[in-house]
Amino acid sequence: MTQILYSYISEENHCYLMKEVASKFSTDFQNKLLKYRRWQDAQLSLLGRILLGTGLENIDIPFCENNVIYTSHNKPYFKEGKVKFNISHSGNMVVCAITETCEIGIDIEMLHSLHLGDFKTQMTALEWQRIISSDNPESSFFDYWTQKEAVIKALGIGLSLPLNSFEIIDNKTIIDKENFFLKEIQLDNKYKCHIAFKDEVDSRVLNLQMINPIPIFKQY
């Protein structure tokens, strides 16, 4: 089963989270949080770890921060076990996807006005035509954008792969003979969110869980 856990930032809870919850993590992670200029960014990063810990607890796996390491492209992963995860945030929301099935990537973007022409080169010709001919071009653009970002995160090579180098057709794409399948996650009508599965879609029902920003998991 794939879990999708999400939360909203809260200025009211920020001092408590930074003092009581962040202290449960490593000194390196606490120092990382302190480097953020905006409280929103610090809390989004912290909530990502809380969601990850909660998701692991749901499947009876203890969360150990020392087991989280990073690839050369800065993608976090566990050095042991079969659990795959990915975290994304935008605006006031943070979302975490966890599975034991296959490599995954998730991307969330808050809907906002933008000059679509600035992003034409990020899409293939077919994708761009579908965007500008749709009833809601901005909504269509964010569908493609979150799909492509989710695929890149599942692939795990960061921005080294141009968005226009692969094409999304019917919620799937192929990159270097590897298949990626996409599914929209509807969390909030002010946001677009997609999850990408490598090789196969987790056929079991996605478990969506809203998490309040409080410490509800244990570390070992």
Choose the CATH number for 1-101+203-220 among 3.40.50.300, 3.40.50.1000, 3.90.226.10, 3.90.470.20. 3.90.470.20
Tens digit of each residue's pLDDT (9 = 90 or more) over 141-156: 999 999 999 999 999 8
Distance from C-alpha of 3 to C-alpha of 19, rounded to nearest angstrom: 28
Sign of the Cα pseudo-torsion (2, 217, 215, 103, in order): negative
Return the structure tokens found at 73: 């492209």
* Same fold across 1-101+203-220 and 102-201: yes
Does 3.90.470.20 match the CATH number of domain 102-201? yes
Confidence (pTM)? 0.91
Return the structure tokens found at 52: 């990850």
Each domain of the chain, given as residue ranges in start order, spans 1-101+203-220, 102-201
Residue percentage of the chain with pLDDT more than 70? 94
Asked whether residue 196 carries a pLDDT value surpassing 50, the answer given is yes
User: What's the pLDDT at 219?
Assistant: 44
Return the structure tokens found at 124: 């293939």
Residue percentage of the chain with pLDDT more than 90? 67
Tens digit of each residue's pLDDT (9 = 90 or more) over 109-165: 999 999 999 999 999 999 999 999 999 999 999 999 999 999 999 998 776 789 999
Return the structure tokens found at 81: 């076990």
